[in-house]
Amino acid sequence: MTTHVDATSPDLITVDVPTHWYNLAAELDEAIPPHLHPGTKEPVGPDDLAALFPAGLIAQEVSTEPYIEIPEPVREIYRMWRPSPLIRARRFEESLNTGARIYVKYEGVSPVGSHKTNSAVAQAYYNSVDGVRKLTTETGAGQWGSALAFAGAQFGIDVEVWQVRASYDSKPYRGYLMRTYGGTVHPSPSDLTEAGRAMLAKDPNTTGSLGMAVSEAVEVAATHDDTRYALGSVLNHVVLHQSVIGQEAVEQLAGVEPGGADVVFGCAGGGSNLAGLSFPFLREKLAGRSNPRIVAAEPAACPSITQGEYRYDHGDVAGLTPLLKMHTLGMDFVPDPIHAGGLRYHGMAPALSHTVELGLVQGIAIAQRKAFEAGVQFARTQGIVPAPESTHAIAAAAAHVADDPTEQVIVIGLSGHGQLDLPAYAEFLDGMMA
């Protein structure tokens, strides 16, 4: 990569768009535990995944190569917004009265306003190569559903989305965005699938969960020959695609901070955002070039890292997915309908869970009001309204520098903007937030 520092605006550092995705799994001494077939309990093979995913993504899911080339059609679309900016948050630093130098890696510049587009474009491309004409998926806050709808439009693929009911009701503009890009969106659980009908029979008033939405999307894909499934987080190939975030951030930071980062904060729900940001920093750590501490900021309402068990579990409520070795609160866990809809998944990505077990990443739970308090402070100082998910990382970083006044370099993953989440901010500002 080539680093460019703008002399007229030294707080903005750009680099070239990465040519390859980075796979941390290839460089760990202890391998990530394999996914297991839900019936045989044996490691899944390519044939087991063929009903859901295209060949290119299946190969990436089990790859042991440290770098995988990004196809040019994907890089061409990436160039619409990549590289995303690394911004020195000087006014936020001043408001915290800290000597720390704080940088934010801002993914809100993507067409849909979040990091999710990095994997959506890649997944749509590989499905188009296999001739797939329709994709199903789930979404929480709606960022992933929006991203896949956008990506589907780029490659002529229809997209059908099941959105967690709590977010479907509270975030209607995400649904409008999906429809604008050509996607179809349903609240989950719905009466359109066997899984959804069973969930509604059990609890007609359920607010839903990502696990429920996954079951519905997987069911439709598995029962229609012309349809495949796309997942917005958790699996290895999604983590891989998000590595463009951290690769850019490492190079951008090197242009102004030769010693690298001391602490990296990211929000964690399914894990792809934090892994995408932090795994290239862990590459630098494993190589001895720097020694960053990685912190996963998760919501106190869905604390899979800090309170979940590390074990094999299904990724959905109906038990249709492979068994994944991950930090989990249990496939039946239904979190409170917090505003950070993208952080309400019961489990954490196996790759990220593995790095937690290896002591390379640590988790911290942040309460919703604390998160929004930090989000408002950041908005009033830096001008960017963070997505509710990202406010957890901002809050964790603010608490850290308050406890540790030493001079240090902090990197925060700002995974998206909150322009479509203003009703949540209004609830906080009006003192009505639970």
Q: pLDDT by residue (tens digit) across 193-218?
A: 999 999 999 999 999 988 899 899 99
Residue 169 maps to a domain:
yes
Model confidence at 7, pLDDT cuts 50, 70, 90, reads very low
Model confidence at 313, pLDDT cuts 50, 70, 90, reads very high
Model confidence at 219, pLDDT cuts 50, 70, 90, reads very high
Q: How many domains does the chain have?
A: 2
**Is 8 a residue whose pLDDT tops 50?**
no
Q: What is the rounded distance in angstroms from the CA atom of residue 425 to the CA atom of residue 412? A: 20
Radius of gyration from C-alpha coordinates of the chain:
20
Residue 195 maps to a domain:
yes
Averaged pLDDT for residues 27-31? 94
Of 52-66, 90-104, 171-185, 338-352, the one with minimum mean pLDDT is 338-352
Model confidence at 1, pLDDT cuts 50, 70, 90, reads low
Shortest CA distance to 265 belongs to which of 416, 350, 390, 117? 390
**Is 285 a residue whose pLDDT tops 70?**
yes
Amino acid at 127: N
Residue 298 maps to a domain:
yes
Q: Which helix (H) or strand (E) holds 312?
A: strand 309-314
Which of 225, 244, 268 is at the close of a domain? 225
Averaged pLDDT for residues 219-224? 93
User: Hey, how many other C-beta atoms are within 10 angstroms of the C-beta on 129?
Assistant: 14
Averaged pLDDT for residues 74-100? 97
Averaged pLDDT for residues 255-272? 96
Q: Are residues 282 and 303 in the same domain?
A: yes
Q: Are residues 283 and 414 in the same domain?
A: yes
Residue 202: domain span? 133-225
Residue 177 maps to a domain:
yes
Q: Are residues 190 and 272 in the same domain?
A: no
Q: Are residues 173 and 278 in the same domain?
A: no
Averaged pLDDT for residues 127-148? 95
Q: Are residues 320 and 413 in the same domain?
A: yes
Residues 6+ apart with CB under 8 A from 219: 193, 194, 195, 318, 320
221 backbone dihedrals φ, ψ, rounded to 5°: -65, -40
Averaged pLDDT for residues 269-273? 93
State the alpha helices, DSSP H only, in 64-142.
72-78, 90-96, 117-129
